[in-house]
Amino acid sequence: MKALLSLTALAALAAETVSAHYIFQQLSVAGTRYPVWKYIRRNSNPAWLQNGPVTDLSSTDLRCNVGGQVSNGTETVTVRAGDQFTFHLDTAVYHQGPTSLYMSRAPGKVEDYDGSGPWFKIYDWGPSGNSWAMRDSYTYNIPRCIPDGEYLLRIQQLGLHNPGAEPQFYISCAQVKVTNGGTTNPTPTANIPGAFRKTDPGYTVNIYNTNLANYVVPGPRVMTGLVEREVPAHLTLSDQARSYMTDKAGLVRAASKFMGPVVFIWHRVFKFTSWIN
């Protein structure tokens, strides 16, 4: 019986391992979509494992995927602070869980940077009711306030679909050079590994029997000081409201419920007026 059980477990593991998962493999910046793996560090997994997850919470592979500590010839794209960017996947995300965006400033050239410095978070797509933002692309903006310099721009989707098994981290890092930035050194920050712990409620949660209204996405809080203009116009109203809610600047937070719809309408009016001009 025991042998049969482990055989079943092994078969399940094999099925999970060889089945295609998904990976963030393509970057757009300010409306230009670049070829697959251009400006994104490609993991060193064999082809059949290319879109597999990282699960070891103590591994440096959590930074930029397996082998992602080195640039391995990846080029760096110049972006303006405030620019919109998109990470595209090979296959739409299909494991429930949150998606987050992080950045970490390289001390020098990002092509020489291993991601061992502090990371700050710029956005979370958390649950909405019981549903998750499971998409084939995720779009946000480079914060306007961060200093010029070269950064790793990291996206992470955490697969929580299999309670009891290890949650799965789907990760990619792009190399960006930020220009036209500001003077804010974002806080809070965390190191990777270290930012995600086995005890985090957002990591241990059984998503199928929990009220997700108070779900907290693992990792540091979204950086303070993000302002309205960084909320992409095409996001849904609830996405916009949530992005205000994650900003701990008290004033913005207090005004969020009222300002969300106002900004949403403002965007629409603005789009319309730019269209008729």
Contacts by 214-220, CB closer than 8 A, 24 or more apart: 215/98, 215/126, 215/127, 217/98, 217/100, 217/124, 217/126, 217/158, 218/98, 218/158, 219/100, 219/102, 219/121, 219/156, 219/190, 219/195, 220/119, 220/120, 220/121, 220/188, 220/189, 220/190, 220/195
Q: Is 88 in the site for Cu ion (CB under 5 A)?
A: no
Residue 179, number of CB atoms within 10 A of its CB: 13
Under 8 Å CB-to-CB from 222, ≥6 apart: which residues? 121, 122, 123, 124, 246, 247, 248
Give the nearest residue (CB) to Cu ion: 21
Q: Is 93 in the site for Cu ion (CB under 5 A)?
A: no
Contact segment (CB under 5 A) with Cu ion among 15-23, 28-36, 253-261, 263-271 equals: 15-23
CB closer to Cu ion, 142 vs 158: 158
CB closer to Cu ion, 20 vs 249: 20
Contact segment (CB under 5 A) with Cu ion among 21-29, 80-88, 180-188, 207-215 equals: 21-29
Under 8 Å CB-to-CB from 46, ≥6 apart: which residues? none
Contact segment (CB under 5 A) with Cu ion among 16-24, 175-183, 204-212, 223-231 equals: 16-24
Q: Is 63 in the site for Cu ion (CB under 5 A)?
A: no
Largest CA distance in the chain: 74
Q: Is 24 in the site for Cu ion (CB under 5 A)?
A: no
Site size toward Cu ion (CB under 5 A) is: 1
Q: Is 21 in the site for Cu ion (CB under 5 A)?
A: yes
Q: Is 121 in the site for Cu ion (CB under 5 A)?
A: no
Residues 146, 235, 222, CA angle at the centre, nearest 5°?
Answer: 40
Residue 13 Cβ vs Cu ion, minimum distance, rounded to whole Å = 12
CB closer to Cu ion, 21 vs 154: 21
Closest CA to 252 of 233, 272, 235, 231: 231
Residue 159 Cβ vs Cu ion, minimum distance, rounded to whole Å = 6
Contact segment (CB under 5 A) with Cu ion among 6-14, 20-28, 83-91, 243-251 equals: 20-28
The Cα-based distances of 91 to 28, 52, 109 in angstroms read 16, 12, 31
CB closer to Cu ion, 80 vs 161: 161
Q: Is 54 in the site for Cu ion (CB under 5 A)?
A: no
CB closer to Cu ion, 21 vs 41: 21
DSSP 207-244: TTSS-GGG---SSSPBPTT--GGGS-TTS-HHHHHHHH
Residue 161 Cβ vs Cu ion, minimum distance, rounded to whole Å = 8
Residue 50 Cβ vs Cu ion, minimum distance, rounded to whole Å = 13
CB closer to Cu ion, 92 vs 269: 92
Interface residues toward Cu ion, by CB under 5 A? 21
